[in-house]
Structure 1
Amino acid sequence: MSVLNIFSLLILGVVFIAESNGGINRFLPLWCVELHTTPYANAEYNNTKDAMQACVEFSSCIGFKKTSDNGYRLLSALTGYVINETCKDYYLLDKSKGQTFPNQPNPYETVILFAIFPYGECPYGFATEGSLCRGRSSITSDICDTFPSYMASRHDGTSCFVLQRQSVINSWS
């Protein structure tokens, strides 16, 4: 229960909205959360509006990070997060379409789950192997350990394995 109370402080009620092709996309500012992501190699954007618009145009974009007073960089390949009370620079694109599940760990975990699994049953850089997802060899045990515990990640010395998205959702239903 204390995790829920702590996490409820992490994302404030503020939501940034970007419009794209008539659709509305929500970005949640993460005040006390540091995301484990891969930054895009593209140039920085000068304001949040430009970063949001660019993010919704890239299907692999999961959000953006403030990198300087007037600089924002797009992010992809979310593996997890850590609570960091000094971090106020991450904005997560909500790809959950408002879905929630009765037994999810906290109110925001669905948004994080859909950012980790942007394309389907496996995270970016993973392939389906039986009932699990197997990561590329470049996914080290250190990276594997950053996935949330509900994904049951394990590294066998060569590859990282995690549960498929539907398995996680089933455990929350």
Structure 2
Amino acid sequence: MLYLDDLKPGDRHTGTSVTVSEEDIFAFARQFDPQPFHLDPEAAKGTVFRGLAASGWHTAALTMRMIVDGPHTFAGGFIGMGVESLAWPRPVRAGDTLTAESEVLEVRPSTKRPDQGVVRVRVVTRNQNGEDVLHWTANLLVQRRSPADASAEVDRRAAAE
């Protein structure tokens, strides 16, 4: 469990991986983004994607799932305050295996609420070839340790140095 006090710019965390099947693409598209290039492989050949592609929103949802299921969780959960940027530089295809990595860009303790703060993170999701399929930069609300826990953590870090 990570608290605001545990984070610093440059920290990187890798989530789990997921392999996307054709049926996964169809199921998400049927429910949330029913466009031909997500539902019909033949029709998709004549589009900008030149074949079946997962919805960008499907990629974003999978990215969120990989982060949440990853080994580095935030106390109180991943509470989004807003997304500054979101891009899908390359489509996700059936059979792609995706991995998400987040990098802490900024850590700001709250001046109004001493029990929390904001972490600005950049998330990149890549396919099995190391090609970027999603980028987002977001601000997350993260809990701070209790004052007693924070003092103990400072003492522990000082002793380790």
Into which bin does the TM-score normalised by the smaller protein fall?
under 0.3
The structure with more helix, counted as a fraction of residues? 2
- TM-score normalised to structure 1 length: 0.24
- TM-score normalised to structure 2 length: 0.25
Asked which structure has the greater CA Rg, the reply is 2
